[in-house]
Amino acid sequence: MLAAKDRLIVALDVDTAQEAEMLVAQLQDHVGVFKVGMQLFNSEGPEVLKRLHSLGARIFLDLKLHDIPNTVGQASAVLTGHGVYMFNVHTAGGKEMMEAAVRASVETASSLNLPRPLVIGVTVLTSINEEILRNEMGIDRTVEEQVVKWAKLAKESGLNGVVASPREIRVIRETCGNDFVIVTPGVRPAWSAKNDQKRVMTPKEAVEAGASYLVVGRPITAANDPVEAAKRIVAEMEEGLKC
């Protein structure tokens, strides 16, 4: 079983490689994975991945690929070639698209003799609540029903797991099994503000519910002491793992 530290993903939601490198240097011994999202990747490009890898960072590349199957397959091959630990696609892109991502990732990792990255599907964003899902997106299901539908589709498509809010962890675990990876944003310790996340839990609650990895950004990166904040979150996760 992964240790609590290795389950913690820190979101590097910054503009520059220098800022990201500073955070990695500070936190490398206290967390397992660093998330590079659209903000940093679009600012610095693929070079930032090389720079963070040179520091020993494991990277979750959070670009949420969503396009026709051929395009997503080609992009997945490129991302796999960057040597990332994990990357994601949108489950809303459908089964053929997700299968293309998995196939390209497996083939590229094999041809380059690289570890195969985890390919994860994004379900319903944690900023989306039931009102938005129904009234703005036109989906006449509850959030939980839609998350489960997309999680099952992701598993059928060969994905390693999904990104889902803490509130859907238990039902995904029941539906998709113990080996299915659940990456959980929307995690906020009791001492931190919720910001724009709507469906949230504490780190202890999320781990107890069955999350594989927790994504935490501002409660760590915006803290006066990021290392101490990471340690506090890991301690909360350890409590959850003991339950």
From residue 122, how far is each of 153, 224, 226, 234 by CA, in Å? Answer: 11, 31, 27, 24
- The answer to whether the annotation marks 69 as part of a ligand binding site is yes
Looking at residue 117, the DSSP 8-state letter turns out to be P
Please check whether residue 85 is in contact with residue 59, taking contact to mean a CB–CB distance below 8 angstroms: yes
- The answer to whether the annotation marks 62 as part of a ligand binding site is yes
Task: Assess whether 62 carries a catalytic annotation.
Answer: yes
Q: Of 22, 28, 85, which Cα lies nearest the Cα of 56? A: 28
Task: Assess whether 194 carries a catalytic annotation.
Answer: no
Distance CA 219, CA 84 (A): 24
- The answer to whether the annotation marks 218 as part of a ligand binding site is yes
Q: Where are the alpha helices (DSSP H) in the chain?
A: 4-7, 17-27, 38-44, 47-54, 69-81, 95-112, 130-135, 143-156, 169-176, 203-209, 218-221, 226-242
- The answer to whether the annotation marks 112 as part of a ligand binding site is no
- The answer to whether the annotation marks 196 as part of a ligand binding site is no
- The answer to whether the annotation marks 179 as part of a ligand binding site is no
- Of 15, 29, 50, 62, which is the active-site residue? 62
- The answer to whether the annotation marks 70 as part of a ligand binding site is yes
Task: Assess whether 29 carries a catalytic annotation.
Answer: no
- The answer to whether the annotation marks 217 as part of a ligand binding site is yes
- Of 5, 67, 152, 231, which is the active-site residue? 67
- Of 6, 15, 50, 64, which is the active-site residue? 64
| Binding site residue list for substrate | 13, 35, 62-71, 126, 188, 197, 217-218
Active-site residue list: 62, 64, 67
